[in-house]
Amino acid sequence: MTVTHLERRGSTPLERLQLLLHRRPTISPLVVLIVASAVFGLASDRFLQPSNLSLILQQVAVIALLAVGQTIIVLTAGIDLSVGAMMILVALVMGAFGGPLGWNGIVVVLLGLMLGGLAGGLNAFLVVRIRLPPFIATLGTLNIFVALALILSGGRSTPGTDLDPFLTWTATAFAIGDFRLTMGVVLVLLVYLVVGFALSQTAWGRHIYATGDDEPAAHLTGIRTRRVLTSAYVLAGVICGLAAWALIGRVGAATPNSAVDANLDSITAVVIGGTSLFGGRGRLAGTLLGALIVGVFRNGLALMRVDVIYQTLAIGVLILLAVSLDQWIRKGRSAS
Amino acid sequence: MTLQTDPTTMASAAASGASTPAGGRAPLIEARGIAKAYGAVVALDGVDLDLYPGEVLALIGDNGAGKSTFIKCLTGAVIPDTGTIKVDGQEVRIRRPQDARDAGIETVYQQLSLSPALDIATNLFLGREIRRPGFRGSVLRMLDVPAMRREAREKVQDLGITTLQDITQAVETLSGGQRQAVAVARAVAFGSKAVILDEPTAALGVRESRHVMDMVTQLRARGLGVILISHDMQNVFEHADRIQIMRLGRRAGVVSPRTHTMQQTIAVMTGAATLDADGRVVPSDEAPSGATS
């Protein structure tokens, strides 16, 4: 059997790089993360200390979780502006049931996951049945979920001390060597492993990619694209429920005032992680790297006593660079 | 490559307008009264079709005659308003592409239904992935990527497609002809009863076109039914056993290359002539709607 590679168009170093980045989309965020960590490590003695690295992990946990749901949606060529709102809605409902109403914590968490799935189901209904563009559909539900959260909670926070211990279990810390991790961080890694496996090793994952790549073509191939899209939005909702649980642990309360930027931060992590907003391209591992990059930049610049405004500026530049890189990679490979 | 003509097929193609192959075999696909309207626009006005095993049925017609809509009704891409479809004598409800695939009908669409970012092997097995044996497949639902690649390689080789060599290559890195080859390979490899090809050679060069038509001939020899939609009259007359002419959303008639000339066929297709009950071509009163290329 002669399996020879076809002659690749282009053999300049730049074109080879383009091809490599196309085949291995996690390389560029990995390089950015390593370089950034090295630079911040040189700039500040504290940056690379285990305590600081542990802190970064805890800081990015919630966004990293939301970004898992966001990645699934973006892979289907959609976008979910409502992930942060879903999380806050679930967090407040969990706070109400687990606090004043005194429900059992495990039941409340399960309830929260169901509520997240239900909220995701509403997005799925609007996108798949009513055929609204995902941007519009989730812009609408973003406002609805935030309003619902405030109506249901009356805008009140429930402090962690009033909550069933299981709801703040995600804040439980333990040490591995000099590193201090929380159960929330473990939860994040578990979700990445499970969803990453599903995306890369199962037919469902292939169908997510195929649907995002070219929905009409995927439909003609026999893929039930509406079902695939529905599963994506519902799963994203459930993951937002998990993020709500992590958020309560992280903040130490169920409060409507936390994580206001979570929506955009989740999209930032996805984009910097190399997933294409045009759908069908990207890796979940890239999203984890993207979330870490944002965390490393914010933390590193803060240690260098750079004003928070400049941190935001740096993130903005990163986003534009990441998307430009994606465009360049795509341009090089789709021509034939 | 010489043209294979199956001597048993079409030995005495009936000259009638509803010509059927000899042997009295039961049709593989039997469509009756397929109609589809988009608002006030009637795309299909009660179209019939019979496809027999081991034959190539060409479907021709001017632009807008309803060829593509019609085959989409057979493949589940479009749901007809009325009409019935029987496969092997059994009425089937084809509501989505997977239903047609389950019935053994594979299709190569004109706008190829491939996922550009996924590799060749994945595309071949899209929608019918192979899972790993045992726990990893049944519980973890894990894909058997090596098995799919191995089978994809075998299928591509069996079909004699030499232009696809690296089965792990993304489809978007392929040329138009190579993409067409992937789509055709998928249909040919998995079609168990019938294969429908919508303009399969439109994007191809001479050599690649010939290769696709060789595959069509192989399918016929294997006893499958092939529906071939093509604008290329030369191609149609060379390979088809029967030719169904579509005009204005209806079946204008069925002819055979053995009993009708290309000029006659084109005349029926453009409305310059009609077929009478005995399959004779009679000039129509209607003014000819122009020549076709």
Categorize the per-residue pLDDT at B12 as very low, low, confident or very high, splitting at 50, 70 and 90: very low
* Mutation choice for A interface testing from B99, B101, B125, B126 by most A CBs within 10 A: B126
Number of domains in chain B: 1
pLDDT tens figures, B212-256 = 888 899 899 999 999 999 988 999 999 999 999 999 999 999 999
Residue B94: what pLDDT?
92
Give the number of other Cβ atoms within 10 Å of residue A331's Cβ: 10
pLDDT of res. A10: 57
Numbered residues of chain B with Cβ closer than 8 Å to any chain A Cβ: 75, 77, 96-98, 101, 107, 109, 111-118, 122, 126-129, 131, 140-143, 153, 157, 165-167, 169-170, 172-176
Selection from B286, B216, B229 nearest residue B60 by Cα: B229
Please report the pLDDT score of residue B21 as a whole number: 55
pLDDT for residue B293: 41
B167 vs B169: CA distance, rounded Å = 6
Among the residue ranges A93-102, B114-123, B153-162, the one predicted with the least confidence is B153-162
The whole-angstrom distance between A229's CA and the closest CA on chain B is 15
Is B54 within a domain? no
Q: Are B270 and B253 in contact (CB under 8 A)?
A: no
CB–CB of A171/A250 below 8 Å? Answer: yes
Indicate yes or no: CB of A213 within 8 angstroms of CB of B118: yes
Provide the shortest C-alpha distance from residue A262 to chain B (in Å): 30
Check if the beta carbon of residue B242 is closer than 8 Å to that of residue B251: no
Structural contact between residues B141 and A204, judged by C-beta atoms closer than 8 angstroms: yes
B175 with A336: Cβ contact below 8 A = yes
More confident residue, B13 or A113: A113
Within-domain flag for B139: yes
- On whether residue B192 sits in a domain, the answer given is no
Contact at CB, B165 and A336, closer than 8 angstroms:
no
Q: Is residue B280 part of a domain?
A: no
**Rounded Cα distance, A325 and A319, in Å:** 10
| A interface test, pick of B113, B125, B138 with most A CB neighbours within 10 Å | B113
A/B interface, count of CB pairs below 8 Å: 102
Q: Rounded to an integer, what is the distance from CA A149 to the centroid of its chain?
A: 21
Distance CA B83, CA B68 (A): 16
Would you state the pLDDT for residue B23? 55
pLDDT at B95 over 50: yes
Nearest chain A residue to B96 by CA distance is A222
pLDDT of residue A256: 83
pLDDT of the residue at B14: 37
> What is the share, in percent, of chain B residues with pLDDT greater than 70?
89
pLDDT of residue B13: 38
Residue of B nearest to A8 (CA): B173
Decide if A6 and B129 are in contact by the 8 Å CB cutoff.
Answer: no
Q: Which residues of B touch A4 (CB under 8 A)?
A: 165-166
Contact call for B107 and A5, based on CB within 8 A: no
The partner residue sitting opposite B109, judged by closest CB among A2, A220, A281, is A220
- Structural domain contains residue B161: yes
Reply yes or no on whether the pLDDT at B290 is more than 60: no
Q: Both tokens of residue A144?
A: 């609805």
CB contact under 8 A, B114 and A6: no
Three-state DSSP state, B86 = strand
**Would you state the pLDDT for residue A335?**
43
Residues of B in contact with A210 (CB under 8 A): 115, 118, 126
Q: Which chain A positions have a beta carbon within 8 Å of B165's beta carbon?
A: 2-6
pLDDT digits (tens, 9 = 90+) for B175-209: 888 888 889 889 988 988 999 999 888 877 788 78
**pLDDT lower than 50: segments of chain A:** 1-8, 334-336
The reported pLDDT for the residue numbered A216 is 93
Are the C-beta atoms of A247 and A259 separated by less than 8 Å? Answer: yes
More confident residue, A92 or B13: A92
CB contact under 8 A, B172 and A333: yes
What is the rounded average pLDDT for all residues in chain B? 85
B122 closest CB neighbour out of A3, A206, A214? A206
Query: What average pLDDT does range B135-156 have in this prediction?
Result: 90
Residue B286: which pLDDT band, with cuts at 50, 70 and 90? low
Burial code (b: 16+ CB inside 10 Å, e: under 16) for A91-111 equals bbbbbbbbbeeebebeebbeb
Crossing angle of the two packed helices B176-190 and B145-158, in degrees rounded to 10: 100
Q: Does residue B124 form part of some domain? A: yes
ipTM of model: 0.82
Q: Catalogue all structural domains in chain A, each as residue range(s) with its CATH number.
A: 49-322 (1.10.3470)
Contacts 24+ apart (CB under 8 A), B277-280: B277/B16, B277/B17, B278/B15, B278/B16, B278/B17, B279/B14, B279/B15, B279/B16, B279/B17, B279/B19, B279/B253, B279/B255
Q: Could you give the CA distance from residue A150 to residue A3 in angstroms, rounded to a whole number? A: 61
> Model confidence over B36-87: pLDDT tens digits?
999 999 999 999 999 999 999 999 998 889 998 999 999 999 999 999 999 9
- Whether B187 is in a domain gets the answer no
Tell whether B12 is covered by a domain: no
Q: Which residues pair with B283 in a beta bridge?
A: B273
User: Which positions in chain B touch A333 (Cβ < 8 Å)?
Assistant: 170, 172-173
Residues from chain B contacting residue A281 (CB–CB below 8 Å): 117
Check residue A332 and give its pLDDT: 62
How far, in Å, CA of A87 to CA of B3, rounded?
66
How does DSSP classify residue A129? I
Question: Per-residue pLDDT averaged across B10-15, rounded?
Answer: 37
* Residue A39: predicted pLDDT: 92
Instruction: Please give the residue of chain B at the shortest CA–CA distance from A228.
Output: B127
Which pLDDT does position B20 carry in this prediction? Answer: 55
Residue B137, pLDDT > 50, answer yes
Q: Which domain holds residue B118?
A: 112-175
**Overall average pLDDT of the B134-139 stretch:** 87
Q: Among all residues of chain A, which has the CA nearest to that of B98?
A: A222
CA distance A53 to chain B (A): 33
d(CA A83, CA A68): 10
Do the bridges between strand B194-198 and strand B225-229 make them parallel or antiparallel, or are there none, so unpaired?
parallel
pLDDT score of A58:
93
CA gap B78, B97 in Å, rounded: 9
